[in-house]
Amino acid sequence: MNENKMPFWKHIEELRKHVIHCICAIIISMIILMNNKNFIFDCIIFAPAKKDFITYRIFYKLVNSFSGLGIHLNSVYFLYNNLEIQNRQIFGQFNIYVWTCFIGGVILSIPYVFYEFWKFIKPALSYKEKKYSICILILVSFMFLLGIFFGYFILCPFLIHFGYSFRISSIPKNIFDLSDYISLIIHSVLSMGIIFLFPFFIFFLTKIELISSSFLKKYRKHAFLIMLVIASAITPGDILSTIIVLIPLLILYQISVYISFLCK
């Protein structure tokens, strides 16, 4: 209705307000993380670098369950020692401290950022759209966090194991650089968080009629090739890590086909 219409500059002003709220939420989350430095780094960031990390212990139990079959996989799945991580820059640890807390602040604030985005577009939605948009908001936040957990508990340990166990010779000793280790953690976690939002991208593309379920089914083989490339790009390229990323991609693609079909 005309009384609800706003001039363009009013929309920009409203968007600016929501962006400021998001930035404030990120800063507050960042400050909270910075005030809990020991817990964040010792118990979360460097946890996958320890041989008693929960993922390694679970695989250890799984391997033991197969020991009766004569399958010995201990050398394939586990760290025998904690990783040796070194810092070679004067301000390396401080820079990592600030950057990691900032990324952590972004991750913690994502549900609120989605909420602010929803508040911005809410006036343009119909009553029916408002009802199911709340469910979408909750599901988007859940799927993003699910991807974060998958990247942290599943993908990261396998990538760390690959870097730890691969040898070109027994002469070089693997001592990992702090910045490389942090980059691996952040890259794995964020990339999987974004990938797990794939069904919602398909949902919106279907809503604006750019794609359809029949299109997704027709080009399933092409999509598989693209997903294989994505999985190889995220991982070092070894078969095991690639498969670990490819499996959820295939599941998400099938979910996307189903969602696209329902949106018709």
Torsions phi, psi for 177 (to 5 deg): -80, 140
Cβ distance 88 to 179 under 8 Å? no
Taking only the tens place, the pLDDT of each residue in 39-77 is 999 999 999 999 899 998 888 787 777 665 555 554 455
Return the C-alpha torsion angle 17, 23, 24, 28, nearest 10.
Answer: 160
Q: Please give the residue that has the higher pLDDT: either 48 or 209.
A: 48
Compute the chain's Rg from CA coordinates: 22
Specify whether 135 is located in the same domain as 212. no
> DSSP of 134-176, one letter per residue?
HHHHHHHHHHHHHHHHHIIIIIHHHHHHHHHH--S-SSS---E
Last residue of a domain, one of 196, 213, 229: 196
pLDDT of residue 112: 94
Taking only the tens place, the pLDDT of each residue in 116-149 is 988 888 877 777 777 778 888 889 999 999 999 9
pLDDT of residue 11: 73
pLDDT of residue 71: 53
Residues 6+ apart with CB under 8 A from 9: none
Distance from C-alpha of 58 to C-alpha of 51, rounded to nearest angstrom: 12
pLDDT of residue 66: 66
Specify whether 180 is located in the same domain as 212. no
Specify whether 31 is located in the same domain as 101. yes
Last residue of a domain, one of 181, 196, 211: 196
Specify whether 159 is located in the same domain as 259. no
- The helix-helix angle for 156-165 and 178-195 (nearest 10°) equals 140
pLDDT of residue 63: 73
Q: Report the range of poorest mean pLDDT among 59-73, 101-115, 137-151, 182-196.
A: 59-73
Specify whether 62 is located in the same domain as 190. yes
Distance from C-alpha of 236 to C-alpha of 241, rounded to nearest angstrom: 8
| Domain encompassing residue 140 | 2-196
Instruction: Give the mean pLDDT of 74-98.
Output: 84
Whether residue 206 is predicted with pLDDT greater than 80 in this model: the reply is: yes
Specify whether 179 is located in the same domain as 206. no
Q: Alpha carbon 202 to chain centroid distance? A: 18
Question: How many domains does the structure of the chain reveal?
Answer: 2
Band the pLDDT of 252: cuts 50, 70, 90: very high
Collapsing DSSP to helix, strand or coil, 85 comes out as strand
Q: Report the range of poorest mean pLDDT among 3-17, 53-67, 246-260.
A: 3-17
pLDDT of residue 5: 61
Mean pLDDT of the chain: 87
Which residue spans within the chain are E strands per DSSP?
85-86, 176-177
Work out the percent of the chain whose per-residue pLDDT is above 70.
92
Q: Which CB contacts under 8 angstroms, 24+ apart, belong to 72-77? A: 75/165, 77/161
Taking only the tens place, the pLDDT of each residue in 235-249 is 887 788 889 899 999
Distance from C-alpha of 48 to C-alpha of 260, rounded to nearest angstrom: 37
Residues 6+ apart with CB under 8 A from 7: none
Which residue spans within 16-175 are E strands per DSSP?
85-86
Specify whether 186 is located in the same domain as 254. no
Specify whether 134 is located in the same domain as 251. no
Last residue of a domain, one of 176, 196, 216: 196
pLDDT of residue 78: 67
Q: Provide the β-strand partners of residue 176.
A: 85
Q: Is 223 exposed, middle or buried, given 0-12, 13-18 or 19+ CB atoms closer than 10 A? A: middle
Specify whether 211 is located in the same domain as 136. no
Specify whether 181 is located in the same domain as 145. yes
Whether residue 212 is predicted with pLDDT greater than 80 in this model: the reply is: yes
Specify whether 172 is located in the same domain as 240. no
Specify whether 145 is located in the same domain as 215. no
Distance from C-alpha of 180 to C-alpha of 178, rounded to nearest angstrom: 5
Whether residue 1 is predicted with pLDDT greater than 90 in this model: the reply is: no
